[in-house]
Structure 1
Amino acid sequence: MYGYGAIFYKYILSVNMLNMIGEAMHVIAVAADYDGTLAEGGKVSPSTVSAIERLIASGRAFILVTGRILSDLLAVFPEAGLCSAVVAENGAVLYRPATRERMRLGSPPPEPLVRALADKGVQPLDVGESIIATVRPHEITALEAIRDLGLEHHVVFNRESVMVLPPGVDKATGLRAALAELRLSPHNVVAVGDSENDHALLQAGEWAVAVANAVPTLKDIADQVTAASAGAGTAELIHEVLRDDLAAAPARHRIEMGQAAGGSSVSIPAQGENLLIAGSSGSGKSTLAVGILERLAQRGYQLCVIDPEGDYESFAGAIVFGNAQRAPTVPEILSALERPDAQIVVNLVGMPLQDRPAFFLGLLPRLQEWRARTGRPHRILVDETHHLLSPDRQPAPTVWAPQLTGMIFVTVHPDSVAPSALRAVTVAVALGERPERTLRTFAERAELPFPHTAPVALDAGEAVIWRARSGEPPTVFRMAPSEGDRRRHRRKYAEGELPPDRSFYFRGPDGLLNLRAQNLMLFRQLAAGVDDATWLHHLRQGDYARWMEQAIKDPWLAEAVRRIEGQGSLSADESRRLVAQAIEERYTLPASESTI
C-alpha cells in the first residue's frame, strides 16, 4: 500500500559508515584545535593533511576551531578548504571555506580597550574582528583595563598567548554555531585539543581527546589521550575513527532510570545499547519510557518515537506527525530530522491496524540510512513492538540491520516480538506481576541463558533490570519519576479522545445503554447523569478500576478506585463522589467543570 518495498537511497554512503551504525557513538565530525593539535611549529605535516582527506572521503566532516585570527590562519594553512567549517578567534568568527563567507559571532573589539592597551605599551597587540590578542605577562594589564572601562570581556589563555574576548564567546559557542549551520549534533562530534583554551571545546563534544603534548589540566578532563603529539596525535585519532568509529570508547553520558537498593544509580548509556521494556498493561512501562525520553531530550539527544496508539503525542517539545484523521508520511519525518534539536513522534493512530507494521518496516531502513549519514536519531523508541515486529512479520535482512543499536522496544508480550529484534537487546527491564517470568521469556526467545531467579513481588513504581550479557543477576530498582508522563496522561486521558475500543461504555445491568466515555472528563459527566442502578452495576463488577488500569494505563488511579469499589456499603452518590475526587486529585481537571 505504501510502496516502501524497494528503497532507493538518495545518498551514497561508505561501506565503513554503514557497518558502524550500531556502535555506541557514531562519529560524524572531528573538531580540532590548530596550534599544538593539528600543527606543529605553525605548520601541518603532509601525513596529517592526508589523514584529514581520508576522514572527509569517509563522509565525515572536519571542523577547525582555533584561537588564531582568520587571515593569519589562511596564510599558514592553505588546506583550510578541506574543512567543512572554520571557527576562528577562539569562537568569535565562523568561516565557510566552500563559499569563503565569514560571520562574526562576537561583538567588535571596543576601541577604548584597544587604545588603553596600546597606551600601556602592550606589544604585540593583534586586533581581529572580535578578538584582541597578546602574550604573557600582559594579562594583568588587560584585566585592569577591562575593569577600569567597566567591560564584561574576559581573558583566555593558550599557553603563552593571551586572548581578550567578548562575554559569552569561547570555542564551545563557536563550535555550536558551526554545527548548527552544518545541521550536525554535538553528540556525534569528537573534539581534540592541547591547551587551556580547549577546555570548552572538549566539553562541547561527545568524546574529548587530548594529544600527548597537551597541558596536564586538559589531559585530566579528556576521555582519551593520544600516544603521539600534535598533528601525529590528531592523525592517530582519525585513524581510530576510520577503523571502528571508536568502538572501544565507553559511554561518556548515561541516562538514569532509577535507583537500586542502597541508593546506587541504575542507568543506560545515552547512545548505543538496545533496551527492552516489557510488562503488563498499567504496570508503568510508559512512565519509565517517558522518563528516559525526557532525560535524553534535556541533554539534546535526538529521538524518534514510533507511536502506534497515540500514547506519546503530548511528549513535551516533540513534533508529532499523524493523528486520528491523517497518517504520517516518510518524507515529512525525514525532513523534520534535518534539525538536530528536533524530537519526532510518529503517530500511527490514523493508519489501519493491519498497515502499521508495513509502514514501520518501510520507515526503519530510511532511519538507518539517516543515522549512517548524520548519526541521528540517537534513540528510536518502538511502542507496542509486538504489533510492529511480530514473529510472523520477521523483517528481511535488507530492512533490519542486526548491528542497529539505540533502540528502545516497549511491549506487553516479549514472546510476540520477532526473535531478530530480541537478539539485539542488551538490557531488559520487566514490570508488573512475575517480572522474572517476563525476563525468562525474553531470554528464551533471544536464545540467552537466564539465571535461576526466585519469584519477585514488585511494589508500585518498581521494576527489574537485567543486563543480559553481563553475567549479573536481575536487580530490582525504583523508577525515577517522570513529569512528562503526568502531563501526557492529563492531556490525553482527561481531555483527549481515546479510540472506541479503549473507551468506557455505560451499558447498565440489562445492557440497554451504550453511553461512550472517550476520556476522563466525559466519564465524570456521564457518571453524574446515569441512573444509580447503572452506576452501581459497573462499580460492583470492578469495571471502573479495570478500565483505568488497562485503557487509561494508570495503576495508581486504578488502585484508588479499586479500594472504593471494594467498599460494598457505599451508596451510589457517595461512591460517585469518591471516584470523581480520585480522578480530580490525579489529573486536576479544568476548574470550569462542575464537581460531581
Structure 2
Amino acid sequence: MAEYTVLITDIDDTLLNSNHEISPENLSAIQRLQAKGNIFVLASGRPNGGMQKIVETIGLQKEDSYLIAFNGGKIIHTQTGVEILNKGLSHDDFSQACDFAELYDVSICSYTKTAVVVSKDSEQSRIEAMLTGMEYKIVDDIKAFFTDKAIPKAIIFAESEKIEILQPMLREYMEQKVEITISKPIFLEITPKGVHKGEAVRFLANHLGYKLSEIIAVGDGENDIELLKVAGLGLAVANASPKLKIVADGVIVSNDEHAIAHIEEHFLK
C-alpha cells in the first residue's frame, strides 16, 4: 500500500456529521494523526471565519497547520493567521453574477470578515449563515455594498431543482470567465477562473515540499472534484454527490459513520 502522510478533508457533510458535529471518534483520530506527525488540512467552501471554531476544537494550530477556505481562494497558516494565498473575484465578475441573480430572482451573497452579506433573504442563505456561525446581513444594493471591499467568492442560493437548471445558464451568462460549482444542492458557488480546492492543494504541497502522491483527500460535494483528482488517493464519503463518486478512487463510509476515523484506520500509517 502507498504511504500517505497528509489528510485533507472537506468539512460539511464529510468531517461533520448530519448534526453538524465532529464525532468523538473523528476527533480522536485527528488528534492521533497529528501526534504521529501526519499533516491534517481542512479544505472548505466556507469562509475562514466560519472555520475557526473547528480549528480550535481539533487543535489545528501547529507550526505546519493550514486551512483552505473559499473553495481554494485562500490558504491560511492557522498558527499565525498569515495568508499565503488570496485570490478573490473581480468586481466586474461579481457585478455580472449579481445581475444574473436579480434576473432570475434568487439571492446572492459574498462575505466580509465577520458576516455573510446577502442581496435578499432566503431559507437557503440563512442555512449558510447558520453553518458558518457568522453574522447575517441583508443589504438593499449588494453591488454598491462591495464597491470598496474585497470579494472572496459568491454563492447563489435557490432550491436544488432550480440550482441544477441555473448552473449551465450561469456558465453561459458569465462566458466561462469563472469557476461555477455546486457545493450543496442549494448552493451555486462562484470563484475566479482557476480557483478551486485542487489548485490550492497543489500550491500548498509545493509550499510545504510534499508530493501530491502522499495526499489522501476526502469530500462529498461537486466542489471537491478537483480536490480528489489531484490527491494520491481521492475518497468520497458514502453520502457524496454521484458526480464526485465517479471521479473518486474509492467510496468509504458516510459522514455519520466517522469517515476520518475510518481513513486513519485503513489508509494512514
> TM-score if structure 1 supplies the norm length?
0.34
- Is the counterpart of residue 43 in structure 1 residue 41 in structure 2? no
Q: Do 2:224 and 2:244's aligned partners in 1 also have CA atoms closer than 8 Å?
A: yes
Q: Does 1:57 align with 2:35?
A: yes
Selected match of 2:74 from 93, 111, 124: 93
CA 1:69/1:80 → structure 2, altered by over 3 Å: closer, same or farther?
A: farther
Among residues 250, 255, 259, which one is paired with 1:233 in the alignment?
259
Structural mapping, 1:173-322, within 5 Å:
173-230=199-256, 232-242=258-268, 245=269
Structure 1 residues 73 and 231 mapped into 2: Cα distance closer, same or farther (>3 Å)? Answer: farther
The answer to whether the 8 A contact 2:31-2:58 is kept is: no
1:170 positional shift: 1.2
Identity %: 25
Cα shift at 1:113: 2.7
In the TM superposition, 1:330-349 aligns within 5 A as none
SS of equivalent to 1:36: helix
Change (3 A) 1:105 1:50: same
**Aligned equivalents of 1:189 and 1:236: distance in 2?**
16
Return the alpha-carbon distance in structure 2 between the equivalents of residues 228 and 144 of structure 1. Answer: 32
- The letter for the 2-side match of 1:113 is Q
Alpha-carbon distance in structure 2 between the residues aligned to 1:211 and 1:172: 18
Instruction: Tell me the SS of whatever aligns to 1:37.
Output: helix
Given the alignment, which residue of 173, 176, 179 partners 1:154?
179
For residues 54 and 197 of structure 1, the distance between their equivalents in structure 2, rounded to whole angstroms, comes to: 28
Task: Sort the Cα spacing of 1:218 and 1:97 in 2 relative to 1 into closer, same or farther, 3 A.
Answer: same
Residue identity matched to 2:68: V
Distance 1:66 1:225, change over 3 A: same
The AA in structure 2 aligned to 1:125 is: C
Q: How far, CA to CA, are the matches of 1:162 and 1:185 in structure 2? A: 31
Q: C-alpha deviations, 1:461-505, integer Å up to 9, x for none?
A: xxxxxxxxxxxxxxxxxxxxxxxxxxxxxxxxxxxxxxxxxxxxx
CA RMSD of aligned residues (A): 2.7
Alignment of 1:116-515 (within 5 A): 116-117=99-100, 119-120=102-103, 121-127=105-111, 129-136=151-158, 137=162, 147-148=172-173, 152-160=177-185, 161-230=187-256, 232-242=258-268, 245=269
Corresponding residue of 2:5? 28
Cα 1:112–1:30 shift into 2, 3 Å: same
| Alpha-carbon distance between aligned partners in 1 of 2:165 and 2:85, rounded to the nearest angstrom | 27
Task: Give 2:207's aligned amino acid.
Answer: E
CA drift at 1:51? 0.8
Shift of 1:106: 2.3
Once the two structures are TM-superposed, the CA of residue 163 in structure 1 deviates from its matched residue by: 0.2
Q: Secondary structure at the match of 1:125?
A: strand
In the alignment, residue 58 of structure 1 is paired with which amino acid?
A: K
Larger radius of gyration: 1
Post-superposition CA distance 1:147-192 (Å, at most 9, x none): 5565601310123121011111111001111222222111111111
Query: How many residues are aligned here?
Result: 220
TM-fit CA distance, 1:127: 3.7
Distance in 2 (alpha carbons) for counterparts of 1:52 and 1:177: 23
| Matches of 1:149 and 1:124, distance apart in 2 | 15
Supply the distance in 1 between the matched residues of 2:29 and 2:175 (Cα, whole angstroms).
Answer: 46
Partner amino acid, structure 2, of 1:108: L
Find the partner of 1:102 among 83, 88, 104: 83
Distance in 2 separating the partners of 1:71 and 1:141 = 28
5+ residue gaps, structure 2: 113-150
Tell me the residue number matched to 1:401: none
Contact 1:155–1:165 (Cα < 8 Å) also in 2: yes
Please report how far the alpha carbon of residue 217 of structure 1 lies from its aligned counterpart in structure 2 after TM superposition.
3.1
- Which consecutive unaligned segments of at least 5 residues does structure 1 have? 1-23, 246-596
- String of CA shifts for 1:197-248, please: whole Å, max 9, x gaps: 2111111111121222222332333223223435601211112244xx3xxx
Q: Evaluate the alpha carbon distance shift between residue 234 and residue 47 of structure 1 in structure 2; reply closer, same or farther with a 3 A threshold.
A: same
1:48–1:231 contact (8 Å) kept in structure 2: no
3-state SS of paired residue (1:236): helix
Identify which range, 216-225 or 35-44, moves more after superposition. 216-225
1: CA distance, partners of 2:174 / 2:155:
18
8 Å CA contact retained: 1:211, 1:230: no
The whole-number CA distance in structure 2 between the counterparts of 1:56 and 1:35 is: 21
Q: 1:79, 1:201 → 2: CA distance?
A: 24
Q: Write out the 4+ residue segments of structure 1 that deviate beyond 4 Å after TM superposition.
A: 138-151
